[in-house]
Amino acid sequence: MAKVLATGGMGYIGSHTVVELIKKGYEVEILDNLYNSKETVLDKIESLTGVRPKFHYVDMLDAEKVDEVFKNGNFTNVIHFAGLKAVGESVEKPLEYYKTNIDGTLNILNSMKKYGVKNIIFSSSATVYGDPHQDTCDESLPTGRELTNPYGKTKFMIEEILKDVCVADKDFSVTLLRYFNPVGNHESGLLGEDPNGIPNNLMPIIMRVAKGDIEELSVFGDDYKTRDGSCIRDYIHVVDLANGHILAMEHEKPGVSIYNLGTGTGTTVFEMINAFEKASGEKLPYKVVGRRAGDLPILTANAEKAERELGWKAEKTVEDAMRDTIKFLRG
Ligand code: UD1
């Protein structure tokens, strides 16, 4: 049976994946510096699964401590979620982003090499497609072109580093999971996305508006060539996403495997607002403002490869995500 180290396992996607892994009977340990999370997440994982995973309060930039974790861990697999992920902040603090995301990953990889851990799944992003000049992306599209921010570039660079490691070690297995737009939370409402600081993705902002912490949602543009003028994205429920990691892990093989994790269906910003209002029974205050620099009008996944090869398919809807989010919001 696999023994998994989840870096960033206390974060939004990491914690949901840890829950699903434990539910499937896998042994999991977490390495996290709580930069964008809280220690109480561990209690929630325990109350949802009956298991309290071993938690290493370690910064992945601390190579010695990372090594200690591996030395005693006997891991067979790593799922690497840890990293900085705020797009706007990455433009302002590029060195911090390159250092954390790249050096952190190198530390993990060095320890994996030292202790013979041969399987890694990496949290990548649809952002690696840059501007694909088409509305739907499949995994064969070129990556790394027209990337507009350091965050996205680190995702691309780490993908390339991992591919090189596979060239050098024929037994090494890399799975790159390119997430589209993760939303929602565990249906219990216990676990969810609660970023420290000011959020910049749509769902956490909607939550803050609903809580009254932010006065209104700014809709970034209503003059795109889409069905209602607002941008279209592929919102994927985080529990579906979590299950994608497990299937990916169960299909690991030497070499590089790449999968989009998305629904294949697009939703506009106004449709997201409507879905929130329907699920909550409350109005969501918003105003339309100018376009946000770097936004693509439409970006959705072609996720057929994951279905074909992993037997994975998103099952939950945006409505499910809204219902679960509101449950989390109301505590
Ligand atoms: C963004 C990043 C992407 C990153 C992803 C996950 C940009 C240009 N892209 O994707 O690199 O991988 O987050 O972290 O930042 N919106 C509003 N008002 C808001 C916030 C968002 O109207 O206050 C709209 C956006 O215009 C977009 C949609 O909501 O159409 C989703 O935005 P967001 O959650 O930031 O995700 P992406 O832009 O798809």
- C-beta 2 within 6 A of ligand 1: no
Over residues 119-154, the pLDDT tens digits come to 999 999 999 999 999 999 999 999 999 998 999 999
User: Is-above-0.95 flag for pTM?
Assistant: yes
**Position 24 in a domain:** yes
Classify residue 93: in a domain, yes or no: yes
Q: Is residue 270 part of a domain?
A: no
Q: Is ligand 1 within 6 A of the CB of residue 85?
A: yes
Instruction: Find, among 164, 196, 169, 193, the residue nearest to 179 by Cα.
Output: 193
pLDDT, the chain, mean: 96
Alpha carbon of 214 to ligand 1 centroid (Å): 17
Summarize the confidence of residues 90-118 as an average pLDDT.
97
Q: Is the CB of 91 under 6 A from ligand 1?
A: no
Q: Give a yes or no: residue 75 inside a domain.
A: yes
Mean pLDDT over residues 180-208, rounded? 90
pLDDT of 172 reads: 98
**Would residue 205 count as lying in a domain?**
no
Query: Active-site residue among 12, 97, 151, 235?
Result: 151
35: containing domain: 3-184+236-264
- Any domain includes 74: yes
- Give yes or no for residue 218 CB within 6 A of ligand 1: yes
> Backbone phi, then psi, for 46, in 5-degree steps?
-65, -40
pLDDT digits (tens, 9 = 90+) for 72-96: 999 999 999 999 999 989 999 999 9
Q: What CATH number is attached to the domain comprising 21?
A: 3.40.50.720
Atom 6, ligand 1: which residue's CA is nearest?
Answer: 181
202 lines ligand 1 (CB under 6 A): yes
Instruction: Produce one character per residue of 14-29: b if its CB has 16 or more CB atoms within 10 Å, e if not.
Output: bbbbbbbbbeeebbbb
Q: Catalytic residue at 151?
A: yes
**Number of independent structural domains in the chain:** 1
* Assigned domain for 284 exists: no
Q: What mean pLDDT is predicted for residues 243-264?
A: 98
For the cut 80, the answer to whether the pLDDT of residue 173 exceeds it is yes
Indicate whether 144 belongs to any domain.
yes
Contact 257, 175 (CB under 8 A): yes
Residue 62 C-alpha to ligand 1 middle, in angstroms?
31
**51-72 pLDDT, tens digit each:** 999 999 999 999 999 999 999 9
